[in-house]
């Protein structure tokens, strides 16, 4: 039996692909041969340049604000109009708000849940409806978090959304595995991204976090790409409902 990680001929939708983890995942999937629909609110010029430099896979920017579900149908339709297919969905777009739980506002709760959980579900639904109508399988990869397993501090809506995302991943896997749709998640540990800049700039928090990571360093975004390629590829065809930590050993500590 030949094990394949090749994504040639596949089209992937990657949300929040303009920077950080989403950008690294998009570049990795393109490097494995996929064409990438880059979805988000901000310019994708840096990601587009990185994909072009890799020499494999083409890409297209689809502008969409996933704080509402309004653009979701259009994201799938634009992708299909571009390459006539959509095989992989990476739900990476997410936001975070920090405040003590006793001070946390309803607006900060709703804003995070809308992007991190509600839009993820409805984009997955739209994507799965397309696959089921076409009678073919596909891959959905949700970007969860260590906070899918742990509580954290001062990020109540983020923790709730990522815990909910782990549960949603398992539910969708149960419903759609029999239809040939793999639904899994990656749970990144502490990576060098915009979302963690405040933590890395806090000497005490930075030291405490580094002291618990067996690998001894914050993750680099491109260290997440291999897990994404695996879950997007034929190599993971019998993997369903997994929340895969990529955390430098954090959860093993």
So which residues are the catalytic ones? 158
Distances (CA, A) of 217 to 19, 137, 148: 20, 37, 21
- With tokens 């094990």, the residue in question is 3
CB-based contact 35:59 (threshold 8 Å): yes
For the chain, the first-to-last Cα distance in angstroms comes to 36
- Candidates 182, 229, 243; CA nearest to 36 is 229
CB-based contact 102:149 (threshold 8 Å): no
Using the 8-state DSSP alphabet, how is residue 143 labeled? E
Nearby residues of 164 by Cβ (< 8 Å), 6 or more positions away: 117
Work out the angle at residue 169's Cα, subtended by the Cα atoms of residues 164 and 172, and round it to the nearest 5 degrees: 120
């Amino acid at each position: 039996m030949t094990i394949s990680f090749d994504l040639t001929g596949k089209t992937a939708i990657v949300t929040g692909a303009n920077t950080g983890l989403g950008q690294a995942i998009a570049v990795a999937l393109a490097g494995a041969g996929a064409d990438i629909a880059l979805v988000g609110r901000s310019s994708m010029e840096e990601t587009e340049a990185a994909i072009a430099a890799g020499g494999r896979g083409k890409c297209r920017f689809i502008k969409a604000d996933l704080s509402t579900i309004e653009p979701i149908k259009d994201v799938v339709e634009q992708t299909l109009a571009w390459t006539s297919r959509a095989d992989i969905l990476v739900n990476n777009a997410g936001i975070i708000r920090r405040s003590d739980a006793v001070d946390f506002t309803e607006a900060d709760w709703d804003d995070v849940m809308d992007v991190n959980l509600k839009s993820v579900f409805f984009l997955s639904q739209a994507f799965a409806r397309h696959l089921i109508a076409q009678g073919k399988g596909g891959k959905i990869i949700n970007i969860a978090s260590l906070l899918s397993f742990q509580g954290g501090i001062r990020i109540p809506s983020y923790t709730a959304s990522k815990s909910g995302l782990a549960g949603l991943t398992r539910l969708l896997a149960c419903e759609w595995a029999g239809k040939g749709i793999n639904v899994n998640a990656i749970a990144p540990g502490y990576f060098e991204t915009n979302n963690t800049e405040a933590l890395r700039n806090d000497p005490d928090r930075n030291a405490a976090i580094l002291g618990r990571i067996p690998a001894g360093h914050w993750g680099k975004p491109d260290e997440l790409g291999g897990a994404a390629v695996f879950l997007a590829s034929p190599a993971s065809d019998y993997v369903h409902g997994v929340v895969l930590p990529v955390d430098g050993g954090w959860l093993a500590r």
